[in-house]
């Protein structure tokens, strides 16, 4: 039997209508996610990194079908899920969950923590009796480092870090196997970010979870990720095992992102490369290689004309650059 990753996308694309004409017909599109083929192995973390607006959340949501993909396919345990009806998708919803960036906005302020955590259990008919529900939500609270005697409080009574713990408890309530963690620590104080990262890592070990871990900063995903995919303007520009990618990035954009983050490793200081200019609008991406207006090694007549495909540069490592690995 051939090996299947837990999750796989093939040429996944998601466009949004950005503008409509007076008759309401689409006039312009934002190509938020373009032709993305990634895979995540069971039990591993794929870190997904890129500047704000490059399409990370859209990709995470399209994988879970919280956004309907415009084209391309998503496979879960080898089975295509992009063609499933809402009803057919339902059992899979238990298996695939999301942790949101904003722990405050993602918790209903009028619900107690108990009802927030009971909701998915009730919807999926997992625990029906009162005592079973009580046991389950109490165990969930303990699992994420919160006290069960706080179950009848409301979200506003908790700190940001505690709220994110509640968001995590909700995500694991149905014993999923795959979780999209969409910048789960970006909105938190630096002092508590590590605690949440450690919690996610412990949960991965204990429950055998598989993560797509989204961040805008390479240093955050380094600790957690087995492999990393770097996005730029809707496309994956580099992908590979985390250690190798951090040691010797193949794409100039990865190199620039690494330079932007402080690193405790002095060997990396030598590889500094400064990124100029802002992210271009995904409404109007540059010709050729979308990175060319900001790329310090771009070559005229090549980079501004031909879009480099994502190709295998060395075994298990891909990059979308005409000169990948040559600089
Ligand atoms: N629902 C939407 N409607 C229209 N455009 C959207 C929508 N969601 C995201 N976009 C656009 O898609 C692009 C990618 O957004 P997003 O996936 O949120 O990026 P990231 O998570 O990397 O910050 C952005 O240009 C954003 O404005
Ligand atoms: S293809 Fe050219 S512009 Fe794009 S990253 Fe490579 S060198 Fe830079
Ligand atoms: Mg986002």
Whether residue 263 is predicted with pLDDT greater than 70 in this model: the reply is no
d(CA 217, CA 43): 22
Probe target for ligand 2 pocket from 303, 307, 309, with the most ligand atoms within 8 Å of CB: 303
| Closest CA to ligand 1's atom 8 | 58
What pLDDT does residue 103 have? Answer: 86
Domain-wise residue ranges, the chain: 7-95+174-319
| Residue whose C-alpha is closest to residue 106's, from 181, 209, 14 | 181
Q: 236 alpha carbon to ligand 2 midpoint, in Å?
A: 13
Q: Is the Cβ atom of 16 under 6 angstroms away from ligand 1?
A: yes
Q: Mean pLDDT across the chain, nearest whole number?
A: 92
| Closest CA to ligand 1's atom 25 | 53
Beta bridge partners of 201: none
Whether residue 35 is predicted with pLDDT greater than 80 in this model: the reply is yes
User: What is the number of the ligand 2 atom nearest to the C-alpha of 253?
Assistant: 5
Fold for 7-95+174-319, please state it: Rossmann fold (3.40.50)
Q: 48 alpha carbon to ligand 1 midpoint, in Å?
A: 15
| Residue whose C-alpha is closest to residue 287's, from 298, 275, 276 | 298
What pLDDT does residue 222 have? Answer: 86
Angle, vertex CA 77, rays to CA 226 and CA 43, nearest 5: 25
Q: Is the Cβ atom of 57 under 6 angstroms away from ligand 1?
A: yes
d(CA 258, CA 229): 13
pLDDT digits (tens, 9 = 90+) for 197-233: 999 999 999 999 999 999 988 888 888 999 999 999 9
Higher-confidence position of 283 and 63: 63
Q: What are the DSSP calls for 216-275, one per residue?
A: SSHHHHHTT-SEEEEEETTEEEEEEEHHHHHHS-SSHHHHHHHHHS--S-HHHHTT--PP
Q: Is 35 left (phi over 0), alpha (psi -120 to 50) or beta?
A: left
Whether residue 276 is predicted with pLDDT greater than 80 in this model: the reply is no
Mean pLDDT computed over 181-207: 95
Mean pLDDT computed over 65-69: 96
What pLDDT does residue 60 have? Answer: 98
Q: Nearest bound ligand to CA 100? A: 3
d(CA 218, CA 242): 10
Q: Is the Cβ atom of 288 under 6 angstroms away from ligand 2?
A: no
Q: Which residue is associated with the tokens 């165990």?
A: 139
Q: 29 alpha carbon to ligand 1 midpoint, in Å?
A: 11
What pLDDT does residue 265 have? Answer: 59
Whether residue 269 is predicted with pLDDT greater than 60 in this model: the reply is no
| Closest CA to ligand 2's atom 3 | 292
């Amino acid at each position: 039997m051939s090996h299947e990753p837990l999750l796989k996308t093939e040429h996944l694309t998601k466009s949004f209508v950005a503008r409509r004409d007076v008759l309401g017909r689409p006039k312009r599109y934002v190509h938020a996610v373009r032709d993305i083929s990634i895979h995540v192995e069971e039990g591993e973390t794929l870190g997904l990194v890129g500047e704000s607006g490059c399409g990370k959340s859209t990709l995470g949501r399209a994988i879970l079908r919280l956004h309907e993909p415009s084209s391309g396919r998503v496979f879960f345990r080898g089975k295509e899920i992009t063609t499933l009806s809402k009803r057919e998708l339902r059992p899979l919803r238990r298996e695939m969950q999301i942790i949101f960036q904003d722990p405050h906005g993602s918790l209903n302020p009028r619900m107690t923590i108990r009802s927030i955590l009971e909701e998915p259990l009730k919807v999926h008919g997992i625990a029906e009796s009162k005592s079973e529900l009580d046991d389950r939500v109490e165990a969930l609270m303990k699992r994420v480092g919160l006290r069960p005697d706080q179950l009848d409080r409301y979200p506003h009574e908790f700190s940001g870090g505690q709220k994110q713990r509640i968001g995590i408890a909700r995500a694991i309530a149905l014993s999923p196997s795959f979780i999209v963690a969409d910048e789960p620590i970006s909105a938190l104080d630096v002092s508590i970010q590590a605690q949440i990262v450690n919690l996610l890592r412990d949960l991965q070990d204990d429950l055998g979870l598989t993560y797509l871990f989204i961040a805008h900063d390479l240093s955050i995903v380094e600790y957690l990720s087995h492999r990393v995919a770097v996005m730029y303007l809707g496309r994956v520009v580099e992908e590979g095992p985390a250690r190798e990618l951090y040691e010797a990035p193949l794409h100039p954009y990865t190199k620039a992102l690494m330079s932007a983050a402080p690193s405790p490793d002095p060997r990396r200081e030598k590889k500094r490369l400064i990124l100029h200019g802002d992210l271009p609008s995904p409404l109007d991406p540059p010709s050729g290689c979308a990175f060319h207006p900001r790329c310090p090694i771009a070559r005229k007549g090549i980079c501004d004309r031909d879009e480099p495909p994502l190709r295998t540069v060395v075994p298990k490592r891909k990059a979308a650059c005409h000169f990948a690995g040559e600089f």
